[in-house]
Amino acid sequence: MIHKARDIMTRNIIVVEEDTSINNLIRIFMDNKISCVPVVNDEKKLVGIVTKTDVLGHFMDIDLHISVKDTLQDILEFSSEQRDLETVPETEMKVRAIMTPNPITTGEDTTVESLAKTMVNNKIHRLIITRDNEIAGIVSTLDILYHVAGIDKHERR
């Protein structure tokens, strides 16, 4: 049986609007134990994708004391100390400033093999799955690994 994106994708994904603050984005990542969200505009159309690596990269680019940088990295890696939000500097910057615009998307009928090839060829870790030009789900490299290993991703929790 040939498996497709619809068979392994995560459904009911959280999205953020492009004017969401970076601080709110960090809270969304932490509260939901996720590392990536699609970004939509006011019309709820997909305009980008943002990851915890994008957030970390933003804070690494500004001049912060090293202990704050270490704490940010811990937060974004969901360590046991992640709840110390007092050390996260406030920023007025919005998601649109750090997101990757125009993310690569594919349909629900894309084979798992094609998903993997697209990720490798584009050096990405996630693909947004669409249905009728709407976000239907997301597939990560980890989803593909679980599939290849024959492990139900819902059992891993």
Per-residue pLDDT of the chain (157 residues; tens, 9 = 90+): 899 999 999 999 999 999 999 999 999 999 999 999 999 999 999 999 999 999 988 777 655 444 444 555 555 555 444 444 444 455 678 999 999 999 999 999 999 999 999 999 999 999 999 999 899 999 999 999 999 999 887 665 5
Provide the pLDDT for residue 87.
42
pTM, two decimals, is 0.78
Q: Please name which of 127, 131, 126 lies closest in space to residue 109, comparing C-alpha atoms.
A: 131
Q: Does 76 map to a domain?
A: yes
Alpha-carbon distance values, 139 to 60, 73, 94, 126, 127 (Å): 27, 24, 25, 6, 5
Q: What is the CATH number of the domain that holds 145?
A: 3.10.580.10
Q: In whole angstroms, give the CA distance from residue 81 to residue 46.
A: 33
Predicted pLDDT at 156: 56
Residue 54 belongs to a domain: yes
Rounded to whole angstroms, the Cα distance separating 36 from 103 reads 12
pLDDT, residue 67, reads 45
Domain around 35: 5-149
Residue 154 lies in a domain: no
Q: Could you tell me if residue 116 is inside a domain?
A: yes
The pLDDT of residue 84 is: 44
Structural domain contains residue 105: yes
For the chain, how many structural domains are there in total? 1
Q: Is residue 49 part of a domain?
A: yes
Whether 32 is in a domain gets the answer yes
Contact criterion met (CB below 8 Å) for 82 and 74 = yes
Q: Is residue 140 part of a domain?
A: yes
